[in-house]
Chains A and B, each alone.
Chain A
Amino acid sequence: MHIPDSFIPLTQAIVYWVIALPFIIMSMKWAKNELDEMKVPVLAALAAGIFAIQAMNIPIGMGTTGHMVGATLVAIVFGSPWAGVLVLTLVLLVQGFGFADGGITTFGVNILNMGVISGFVGYYTYVTLRKSTGTSIAAFGGAWLGLFTSAIACAIQMWIAGIFPLVPGLITMGTYHLIIGFIGEGLITAFVITAIAKSRPDLLEDSFTARPEKSKKEIHA
């Protein structure tokens, strides 16, 4: 879902940058408040793994492929969607400058779609589902819906950019990403979160108590 430079006119790309910027700054603030030294290796390993898995395009039929995005996974592990925004920003930075995957003018819109929209929708869907179901199903549902929602946002941006017609764009992007979200995002996220829940349950301790940041701050105060 990486939008290349050529897909969005510069003025619109700047608008998306302006919208994305506060989210990027907030994700850095999250790191300053919540990322303790012991968790830096966890963040780095997740970022490296997500970069590598994004190179793994899975065929979904119809001559189309898709790959995992990963913002929901990171958000669940750290119990905060800001962690997902942060990791996707770092991954997209390397992809855009190093590998012409995504773009530089479209760096902002790609952070908005893959980091912010997929991470926030994915994480809060997970938190909601987690109240009534198990970790695996909640992780699957969150990751799936997060990825699908970001694809719908992308189709609308493509329409505003004058590239896609609205309805066919929504239908095509929606159909592809329902499947990509199921396999590439949902199943992989559920698998990894389940593995972490078994081997390192302590890491997920405050993953669904919504806003663990606040309770920790209160303790410090």
Chain B
Amino acid sequence: MSSKSNMKFFYVGIAIAFLLAVLAPFLASPDPDGLESAAGGVVEESKMSQIEEMEPVVDSPMPDYSIEGLGKSGEVLAITVGTLAVLAISFGFGKVFKKKA
């Protein structure tokens, strides 16, 4: 294994990640996921609406991978920013926690 071929893996990997980030808002289905869908099916309506009224514990800057008023381009931007954030945090973590030579 060489660090050069790992860098190649890295470039191919982030190219795929950013491609997905750009395509997801157009290709992804807006329907609920398995958990939400199951909740809609097996939980009584009164209890469900009670749950839905509860706010998340912290306010997220870009809830549901969107930016208010920016439509699809906002979603592309949100997922791209998120991908960059994961990349930066993973690198930062790797730098701090990696095996000491």
Residues of A within 8 A of B (CB): 1-7, 28, 31-53, 55-60, 62-67, 86-87, 90-91, 93-101, 103-105, 151, 154-155, 158, 163-165, 168-169, 172-173, 176-177, 180, 200, 202-203
Within 8 A of A (CB), among B43-100: 43, 47, 51-52, 54, 56-65, 78-79, 81-87, 89-91, 93-95, 97-100
Cβ–Cβ contact A45 & B34, under 8 A:
no
How would you classify the secondary structure of chain B's contact residues: helix, strand, loop or mixed?
A: helix
| Chain B nearest CB, measured from A171 CB (Å) | 9
Q: Could you count the A-B residue pairs with CB atoms below 8 Å apart for me: how many are there?
A: 228
Q: Determine the chain B residues whose CB is within 8 A of the CB of A46 once the complex forms.
A: 13
11 contacts between A and B (CB under 8 A): A2-B35, A6-B54, A48-B83, A57-B29, A60-B34, A67-B28, A90-B90, A99-B63, A100-B63, A104-B56, A169-B38
Residues of B within 8 A of A (CB): 1-3, 5-7, 9-10, 12-14, 16-18, 20-21, 23-25, 27-35, 37-39, 41-43, 47, 51-52, 54, 56-65, 78-79, 81-87, 89-91, 93-95, 97-101
Cα–Cα, bound, A86→B58 (Å): 23
Smallest CB-CB A-B distances: 8 pairs: A45-B13, A40-B94, A41-B10, A176-B34, A6-B54, A52-B20, A44-B90, A100-B63
Extra contacts besides A35-B98, A40-B91 (7): CB < 8 Å? A32-B99, A44-B10, A44-B94, A49-B17, A94-B82, A94-B86, A180-B34
Cα–Cα, bound, A55→B30 (Å): 10
Q: Contacts A32-B99, A42-B10, A99-B63 hold; do A52 and B85 have CB atoms under 8 A apart?
A: no
Q: Contacts A1-B34, A100-B63, A176-B37 hold; do A31 and B97 have CB atoms under 8 A apart?
A: yes
Q: Determine the chain B residues whose CB is within 8 A of the CB of A63 once the complex forms.
A: 31-32, 37
- Contact pick for B94, options A43, A100, A180, A202, CB 8 Å: A43
Cβ–Cβ contact A56 & B28, under 8 A:
yes
Nearest A residue (CB) for B62: A99
Cα–Cα, bound, A98→B24 (Å): 17
Cβ–Cβ contact A51 & B82, under 8 A:
yes
Q: Contacts A56-B24, A66-B33, A164-B42 hold; do A48 and B6 have CB atoms under 8 A apart?
A: no
Cα–Cα, bound, A66→B6 (Å): 30
How would you classify the secondary structure of chain A's contact residues: helix, strand, loop or mixed?
A: helix
